[in-house]
A and B are shown apart, each in its own frame.
Chain A
Amino acid sequence: MTRTTTLGALALGVVVCLTLGTLVAVAWRAEGAGGFGPADWAAIRFTLWQAALSAALSVALAVPVARALARRRFPGRGILITLLGAPFILPVIVAVLGLLAVFGRAGILSQALIWAGLEPVSIYGWHGVIIAHVFFNLPLATRLILQGWLAIPAERFRLAASLGFAPSDIFRVFERPMLREVVPGALLVIFLICLTSFAVALALGGGPRATTVELAIYQAFRFDFDLGKAALLALVQFAMGAGAALIAFRVAIPGGMGGGLDRAVTRWDGGGWLVVQDVLCIGLAALFLVLPLSMIVARGVPELMSLPGSVIEAAGLSIVVSLSSALLCLSLALPIAALAVRRGSALVEGVGYLTIAASPLVIGTGLFVVVFPIMDPFALALPVTALVNAAMALPFALRALTPALAGIETNFGPLADQLGLAGWARFRRLWLPRLRRPLGFSGGLAAALSMGDLGVITMFADPQTATLPLQMYRLMGAYRMDDAAAAGLLLLSLSLVIFWIFDRGGRVDADA
């Protein structure tokens, strides 16, 4: 018991230091900074409105797609729904490269437009940022809303059919109330995600017009070495994140990671042109999601055999960082979950969720401020990347682990207590085997997130060390697009494979 308390307190301490501690360091450093210039205010405005617009667009587009998926059965539906979960662990920079290949001025969309005698489009600027955000969050929104649809009991649709409801009646009676419940949560989740957008704005923002606060922190840091300005911006970023997170906690957040989305609801309405509409929705959404990634595969595969040595080296580093991050994440999440379950404390769990409001660049700035006087921060680039990504994955890990652990303790706690199964033996003989699934899932998530991270590493990396996403970004900067695509393909594969291995590892041979 005391061990649970000690370890739990220790893990909570690390989280508090990482979030509030770095914030204090940042605030202390920000004291001497001047106020904001017009460009800083523009960054704050842009951050808020792009997040709002990204959320609104993602959800608005997700509604018809989710409805189509809810009421249609077709071959490949299961695969498509599984794919909808993939963007979550998709490295941002890979997606950006794929989107460039589709929506860039030299991309296939522009080529088609030119062929049709129209003006080509440009992806740089705010619309590029929004396109990328919708690319990432449309699938998430679709899964969240699809869950709402599938939660409507099948009997109601049967009843509706027997009463001769038209699709508009079904919408009014069943679907609108469901959407009213699900949509606000989905909007908030996506708003929160887009609020900390960095890599997308870095690669596609196109300068001061589309700079997010996270990017402004990076610029203040790397371009101007203005720690005071970086710190001030970090405070704003944290305030925005905390504000949105507080609102989010008041709204029921739907859980989008769960399974059970495989079945389709049998419905008796919606023939004729509704079929056409659904086919279009699903087809366009699938095209929008699959095309950019296919471009990476198509462009990357031929180069895969001739990858530069620097890319292979970077991949090795990324694997190490990714595994360390998974280990760190679980070593933080397990003690916190254990303490939360033991104490039945929502506060303990709440502290664990602090990192939702924090952002990688804010934590990075804080760590830099703390470490700089003591030692060379650049020597810590890789550990910091692993740690920060572990912290970012922590809320998801807690969300998977805490209820699972609570369930274990409810079901098997008395038996274990009676047998005197305590301490290490309880951990090893009861928790570990029974937590394999959530552990595998959370570990995989942390591993994949840090594998693809192009956030805090950009602050800390020195010119000689690069993780795979950073190396890929550098290749893009040198316009070695084919090499970048191959590196992207490698990165994409590594992220998916490492998640798959963890997740699989948690499922194999798991007893009911």
Chain B
Amino acid sequence: MLTLEGMRVEMEGFTLDAELSVPTGARVAVLGPSGAGKSTLLGAIAGFQPVAAGRVLWKGAAMPAAPAKRPVSMVFQDNNLFPHLSAFDNVAMGLSPSLRLSEAERVRVGGALQRVGLNGYGDRKPGRLSGGQVARVALARVLLRDRPLLLLDEPFGALGPALKAEMLSLVADLLDETGATLMMVSHEPQDARLIADHVVLVAEGRAHAPVSTGEIFANPPEALRDYLGQA
């Protein structure tokens, strides 16, 4: 279980407070108006955003400071791959940042690429991959890192609707296999309906506790209503 205990992030002219828990295995969509602090919330959980007060706990224990030591895999909006490295190396970074791999590890990297449907693409650099393929490479690395908490910061924002749905279903499959907990930032309520069983609403400087997806769309609170543009 992920617990944000009196957590507060302070940035210039902006604060974000969070007091909430996410049960293990939950799939949570993080919704809210742009600029409300959705990415900041994920950044704080991943260890990129310094926390001014409170604690970020995983299974009741405070998370270590270094992002790499946290039980977290994060996929960013962009720059998820190193452009100078091949798809294979980009995935292999998930096992060994120095890229010194054993034979068994090389097999695992190949397997991860195969799992996301990129068999035979290992030699290609990101510049020669399509947007969807880039996202798949990033997911292959997530699969290989096998961390219990997956944070997605709108990684499919630049993809078309069909491709995006495909990616979300791939994410759902991976979650089924790994049993990881998901927190996904999106500005499309449709995404939340597709994949998430809970929604965390971030608005007016506060990240609210998760509410089940069906419930929140049936009876949206005022902040969400404003955001959704519903009367």
A and B touch in the complex (CB under 8 A): yes
Q: Which residue of B lies closest to A433 (CB)?
A: B84
Which A residues are CB-close (under 8 A) to B66? 417, 420
B125 touches A422 (CB 8 A): no
A417 touches B48 (CB 8 A): yes
Q: Which residue of A lies closest to B97 (CB)?
A: A421
Chain B at the A interface: SS class: loop
Instruction: Determine the distance from Cα of A263 to Cα of B11 in the docked complex, in whole angstroms.
Output: 42
| B80 at the A interface (CB under 8 A) | yes
Comparing B13-21, B68-76, B112-120, B205-213, the segment that makes contact with chain A is B68-76
Min CB–CB distance B146 → chain A (angstroms): 13
| B131 at the A interface (CB under 8 A) | no
Tally inter-chain residue pairs, CB-CB below 8 A.
66
* Chain A residues touching B, range: 20 to 34
| A79 at the B interface (CB under 8 A) | no
A415 touches B80 (CB 8 A): yes
Mark B79-94 against chain A: 1 for CB-CB distance below 8 A, else 0. Answer: 1101111000000011
Q: Select the residue from A416, A418, A420, A422 with max chain B CB neighbours within 10 A.
A: A418
Q: Select the residue from B73, B83, B97, B127 with max chain A CB neighbours within 10 A.
A: B97
| A425 at the B interface (CB under 8 A) | yes
Contacting B at CB under 8 A, from A391-431, are 411-412, 414-422, 424-426, 428-430
Min CB–CB distance B168 → chain A (angstroms): 21
With known contacts A417-B48, A420-B68, A511–B83 Cβ distance under 8 A: yes
Which B residues are CB-close (under 8 A) to A510? 84
| B180 at the A interface (CB under 8 A) | no
Mark A210-221 against chain B: 1 for CB-CB distance below 8 A, else 0. Answer: 000000000000
Instruction: Determine the distance from Cα of A209 to Cα of B118 in the docked complex, in whole angstroms.
Output: 75
Contacting A at CB under 8 A, from B4-62, are 46-48
B127 touches A414 (CB 8 A): no
Q: Which residue of B lies closest to A418 (CB)?
A: B67
B84 touches A421 (CB 8 A): no
A414 touches B98 (CB 8 A): no
A417 touches B84 (CB 8 A): no
A430 touches B82 (CB 8 A): yes
Instruction: Determine the distance from Cα of A417 to Cα of B43 in the docked complex, in whole angstroms.
Output: 12
Min CB–CB distance A424 → chain B (angstroms): 8
Q: Which residue of A lies closest to B70 (CB)?
A: A418
Min CB–CB distance A232 → chain B (angstroms): 50
| A512 at the B interface (CB under 8 A) | yes
| B99 at the A interface (CB under 8 A) | yes
Instruction: Determine the distance from Cα of A294 to Cα of B64 in the docked complex, in whole angstroms.
Output: 66
Instruction: Determine the distance from Cα of A147 to Cα of B174 in the docked complex, in whole angstroms.
Output: 52
Q: Which residue of A lies closest to B68 (CB)?
A: A420
B97 touches A419 (CB 8 A): yes
With known contacts A426-B97, A429-B97, A512-B127, A418–B82 Cβ distance under 8 A: no
| A434 at the B interface (CB under 8 A) | yes
With known contacts A420-B66, A420-B68, A415–B97 Cβ distance under 8 A: no
- Top-8 shortest CB links A-B: A420-B68, A433-B84, A421-B97, A425-B98, A511-B83, A417-B67, A411-B79, A425-B97
> 16 A-B contacts, Cβ less than 8 Å apart?
A414-B48, A414-B74, A415-B82, A417-B66, A418-B72, A418-B74, A419-B68, A419-B94, A421-B97, A422-B68, A424-B98, A429-B98, A434-B82, A510-B84, A511-B83, A511-B126
List residues of chain B with CB under 8 Å of any chain A CB. Answer: 46-48, 66-69, 72-74, 76, 79-80, 82-85, 93-94, 97-99, 125-127
13 other A-B residue contacts (CB within 8 Å) besides A418-B46, A420-B66, A424-B98: A412-B79, A414-B46, A414-B67, A415-B76, A415-B82, A418-B73, A420-B97, A425-B99, A433-B84, A434-B82, A510-B84, A511-B126, A512-B127
